[in-house]
Structure 1
Amino acid sequence: MTKTAWVFPGQGSQLIGMGVDLQDIPVAKAKFELAEKILGWSVLDICQGDETTLACTLYTQPCLYVVESILSDLLKGKVDLPQLVAGHSLGEYVALYAAEVFDFESGLRLVKKRAELMHSADGGKMAALMKFDRDQLTTVLNNTPDVVLANDNSEAQVVISGTPEGVENVLSQVKAKKAIALNVSGAFHSPLMQGAAKEFLTVLESVEFKEAKIPVLSNVDPRPTTDSQVLKSKLTQQMTNSVRWRETMLQLAQAGVTEIIEIGPGKVLCGLIKRTCKDIALEAIGTVEQLDGKAPALVS
């Protein structure tokens, strides 16, 4: 028996042109128009602009939320609902929307505020490490103040976050095949985001969370739940805590998931899952053409 999970990628997966092929579909057109009223700018214009602007946190996060939410809505009209949902960082907001924890507008207002706060954060640094000694990294992090494991993406790929001095100190001590400084303004998913998280909390508390129609795996505690208050509590911790994606993938496998659909641009999460859970069938849905492959065409 097939057991399906839907997963939603976060910042870093954005692509120029994403969502543009959706604009003539009525349900998508309505959401693009609503998003422009809420944001004060056009998602479609940004997605058709230059890479630098799209890669700016202020624009990336709302664009991904809008495009992925539309894709999720359209896919729901074609296939059975999944048994589990999860999202990577920003993608968790789309997972919560897909599970009907909040409506599209509420989610976008949360993402808009989150993007503004993270965009304005400064004084931090993030770096990705590939093919490294995990035990050595853990030891160095434990002995280095102001640096944490921000994204535990897979056994062979992580992101560290903290003060510039602290991050450089860790990089100088840990052997890795590749280490790349990320082009971000702040130390996302670290305690250095505490000020932004506190301000964000006032907005988050004003949004009503409903019981999830589909169990959601949170970034900070990847155990599936439908409890609205538990999901909200976990989301309050997300900005300052690690994205435990490696554990999320393992949890999906342990739950007996046999098929995972990545909903959004590219195949970033599919790549991570393929190397971690080799027996799970993978599919990426990020375009009208890929959606049309699930059933009769959406547009004439």
Structure 2
Amino acid sequence: MTKTAWIFPGQGSQKIGMGAGLFEQSDLKTKLELAENILGWSISEICSDPEDKISKTLYTQPCLYVVETLLVDRLKQEGQSPDYVAGHSLGEYVALYAAGVFDFETGLTLVKRRAELMDSADGGQMAALIGFNSEQLQEQIQKTDNVVLANDNSAAQVVISGTPEAVDQVLANIKVKRAVKLNVSGAFHSPLMAEAATEFQRILDEIPFNNAQVPVLSNVDPTPTTDASLLKQRLTQQMTGSVRWREICLQLSELEVQQVVEIGPGNVLTGLMKRTFPEIVLQNIS
């Protein structure tokens, strides 16, 4: 029997018009109204706004969560289910929903507060690096205060995060094929998010988690687990910890997963998966 993993993209995969086909389906109206009651604004309106409101962190994360969870519901209604789940940053919340760790409302409430805290963060910078020497990069990060490897996406693509001065210093001292500074307000997935993470911890502490119905590979620790307390602990560490996506890809290979389905807009994660795990069968559902 084919082993399948469902993976869920995070911030950066959003695009104007995403979810349009879903929003038109009458049977989803109740869930969309529930989302609007929790958020205080309309998912469908933000997703379709021509001024690209969807790219503002405050809106991006809840919109991705809702669109991706609606797609999960559709697949489950069709009788499909995964053997493993994983999500990139925000996508980990959808993975936990797909695994039955919490319900739609609980997940959206957490994502709403996470988005608010991350949107209010300032004084940080993130930059994506494509084509570089890993040893040289690690050496410069170790030499430079206030910068970390935030996203280890593949052997050829990573994201660094820290103060603007520290990020600039690293970029000035390495050879890189391409470097792109990301349009974010804060140094996400770095110790500079500690204050936001502490505030978020208070909210997480009050939320009951269920044991997962299928193993989850977390961003800060790609070892698959179904244990509720461990999954919560890993989620607690996520805001300040690195996204170890390359290791998640390698772990899925070791687990003999034969098919990976990216659920959500775009194909960023399947692209990264293909680079690390070239023999895998890939599918995108958006």
Which letter maps to 1:277?
A: F
After superposition, residues 162-241 of structure 1 pair within 5 angstroms as 162-241=162-241
Query: Which residue does the alignment assign to 1:248?
Result: 248
Query: Which residue does the alignment assign to 1:143?
Result: 143
Q: Say which SS state the counterpart of residue 180 (structure 1) adopts.
A: strand
Query: Which residue does the alignment assign to 1:130?
Result: 130
Q: How many residues align?
A: 286
Instruction: Point out the more displaced range, 12-21 or 75-84.
Output: 75-84
Following the alignment from structure 2 to structure 1, what is the Cα–Cα distance between the partners of residues 47 and 282?
26
Following the alignment from structure 1 to structure 2, what is the Cα–Cα distance between the partners of residues 27 and 281?
32
Cα shift at 1:20: 1.2
Cα shift at 1:195: 0.1
Cα shift at 1:25: 2.7
Following the alignment from structure 2 to structure 1, what is the Cα–Cα distance between the partners of residues 225 and 35?
29
Q: Say which SS state the counterpart of residue 148 (structure 1) adopts.
A: strand
Query: Which residue does the alignment assign to 2:261?
Result: 261
Which letter maps to 1:188?
A: F
Asked if structure 2 preserves the Cα contact closer than 8 Å seen for 1:9 and 1:263, the reply is: yes
Asked if structure 2 preserves the Cα contact closer than 8 Å seen for 1:102 and 1:209, the reply is: yes
Following the alignment from structure 2 to structure 1, what is the Cα–Cα distance between the partners of residues 136 and 50?
39
Query: Which residue does the alignment assign to 2:89?
Result: 89
Query: Which residue does the alignment assign to 2:100?
Result: 100
Asked if structure 1 preserves the Cα contact closer than 8 Å seen for 2:16 and 2:52, the reply is: no
Following the alignment from structure 1 to structure 2, what is the Cα–Cα distance between the partners of residues 80 and 72?
9
Asked if structure 2 preserves the Cα contact closer than 8 Å seen for 1:161 and 1:189, the reply is: yes
Which letter maps to 2:241?
A: N
CA RMSD of aligned residues (A): 0.9
Following the alignment from structure 2 to structure 1, what is the Cα–Cα distance between the partners of residues 189 and 279?
30
Q: Say which SS state the counterpart of residue 75 (structure 1) adopts.
A: helix
Instruction: Point out the more displaced range, 71-80 or 262-271.
Output: 71-80
Following the alignment from structure 1 to structure 2, what is the Cα–Cα distance between the partners of residues 29 and 276?
39
* Unpaired segments ≥5 residues, structure 2: none
Asked if structure 1 preserves the Cα contact closer than 8 Å seen for 2:69 and 2:97, the reply is: yes
* Unpaired segments ≥5 residues, structure 1: 287-300
Query: Which residue does the alignment assign to 2:57?
Result: 57
Please list every run of at least 4 consecutive aligned residues from structure 1 whose deviation after the TM superposition is greater than 6 angstroms: none
Asked if structure 2 preserves the Cα contact closer than 8 Å seen for 1:191 and 1:240, the reply is: yes
Query: Which residue does the alignment assign to 1:289?
Result: none
Instruction: Report the TM-score when normalising by structure 1.
Output: 0.94
Q: Say which SS state the counterpart of residue 93 (structure 1) adopts.
A: helix
Query: Which residue does the alignment assign to 2:77?
Result: 77
Following the alignment from structure 1 to structure 2, what is the Cα–Cα distance between the partners of residues 168 and 101?
40
Q: Say which SS state the counterpart of residue 52 (structure 2) adopts.
A: helix
Percent of counterpart pairs with the same letter?
63
Which letter maps to 1:19?
A: G
Following the alignment from structure 2 to structure 1, what is the Cα–Cα distance between the partners of residues 80 and 44?
29
Which letter maps to 2:230?
A: V
Q: Say which SS state the counterpart of residue 208 (structure 1) adopts.
A: coil
Deviations 1:71-107 (A, max 9, x none): 0010112243110000000000000000010000000
Instruction: Point out the more displaced range, 33-42 or 47-56.
Output: 47-56
Following the alignment from structure 2 to structure 1, what is the Cα–Cα distance between the partners of residues 143 and 3?
42
Following the alignment from structure 2 to structure 1, what is the Cα–Cα distance between the partners of residues 167 and 48?
34
